[in-house]
Amino acid sequence: MTGDPVGTLLLASAAAFLLALLSAVAGFGGGVLLLPVFTALFGLRVAVPMLTLTQVSSNAFRVWFNRRELHWPLIGWFALGAVPLAVAGGLLLAHAPLGPLKRLLGAFLIGVVIWRRRNPHPRKPADRSFTAVGAASGLGSALLGSVGPLTAPFFLAYGLTRAAYIGTEAAGALTMHLSKIAAYGAGDLLTGRVLLFGVALTPATLAGTWVGKAIVGRISDRLFVLLVEAGLVAAGVLFLIGS
């Protein structure tokens, strides 16, 4: 961590604002971009729980702003798989080899976009299948800090767009991130400074979410899906080159 706490907080706040803005527009992606910034500022083992605290506030605000469009059955099935695997991944964070998992996830995300281009009208997944989606997301997120792009293809294939997609995905992710925080606490990764910075970044997160919500209300469903697919490719590339 740098020697200037004020300068570090300003940099982290600017990054958190962009995280919330991007996530509010595309439903994901901010965490993937924010992790390298937090790693440079705080170190990897601190960056992951710090990012999780920021994602809690970001997802909570997205749930609130889109609360009228939430699809509760999907949230329940997602949480059923995400919560236990997020806890397990959080306890494994200090020991797991992260490089191979990042490369696999990056290749998967790019492959998903290619598959969607070749199959523009995929079969709608069953509600219960989101338990497996939540499990994979919970484990990967606890180890890598953010795998929000992993869930996007499944919510899109279900038929959710804009507010329904953003709010429902955020609600599922919120259950996962809260579980990760409990696991990080049990693993002594939540220090007083980590918690302090997490609280201090909340105003920037709220501002970014509010601006993003205003933007997403002005774009078409087609443009929204294109933005999400572009984000999937970018996230996949970042995972591949950053591993």
- pLDDT for position 147: 66
- pLDDT for position 63: 92
User: What is the rounded distance in angstroms from the CA atom of residue 23 to the CA atom of residue 222?
Assistant: 18
Residue 2 has pLDDT above 60, yes or no: no
- pLDDT for position 243: 54
The answer to whether the pTM exceeds 0.85 is no
Name the domain count of the chain: 1
- pLDDT for position 98: 61
- pLDDT for position 18: 78
- pLDDT for position 93: 67
Alpha helices per DSSP H over the chain? 5-26, 30-42, 44-65, 72-92, 98-118, 130-144, 148-158, 162-186, 192-200, 202-216, 221-241
Residue 211 has pLDDT above 60, yes or no: yes
User: Under DSSP, is residue 51 helix (H, G, I), strand (E, B) or coil?
Assistant: helix
Per-residue pLDDT of 177-204, as tens digits, reads 898 888 877 767 777 878 887 778 788 8
In 10 A of CB 120, how many CB atoms? 7
Percentage of the chain beyond pLDDT 70 is 77
Least confident of 27-31, 224-228, 229-233: 27-31
Cβ-count burial 29-40 (b if 16+ within 10 Å, e if not) = bbbbbbbebbbe
**Residue 104 structural domain:** 5-241
- pLDDT for position 151: 79
Mean pLDDT of 19-40: 68
User: What is the rounded distance in angstroms from the CA atom of residue 100 to the CA atom of residue 104?
Assistant: 6
In the 3-class helix/strand/coil scheme, how is 137-161 assigned residue by residue?
A: HHHHHHHHCCCHHHHHHHHHHHCCC
pLDDT-derived band at 132 (thresholds 50, 70, 90) equals very high
Average pLDDT score, the chain: 78
- pLDDT for position 72: 94
Per-residue pLDDT of 60-87, as tens digits, reads 888 998 899 999 999 999 999 999 988 8
Residue 187: name the closest of 30, 52, 38 by CA.
Answer: 52
Residue 51 has pLDDT above 90, yes or no: no
- Of the two residues 96 and 156, the one the predictor is more confident about is 156
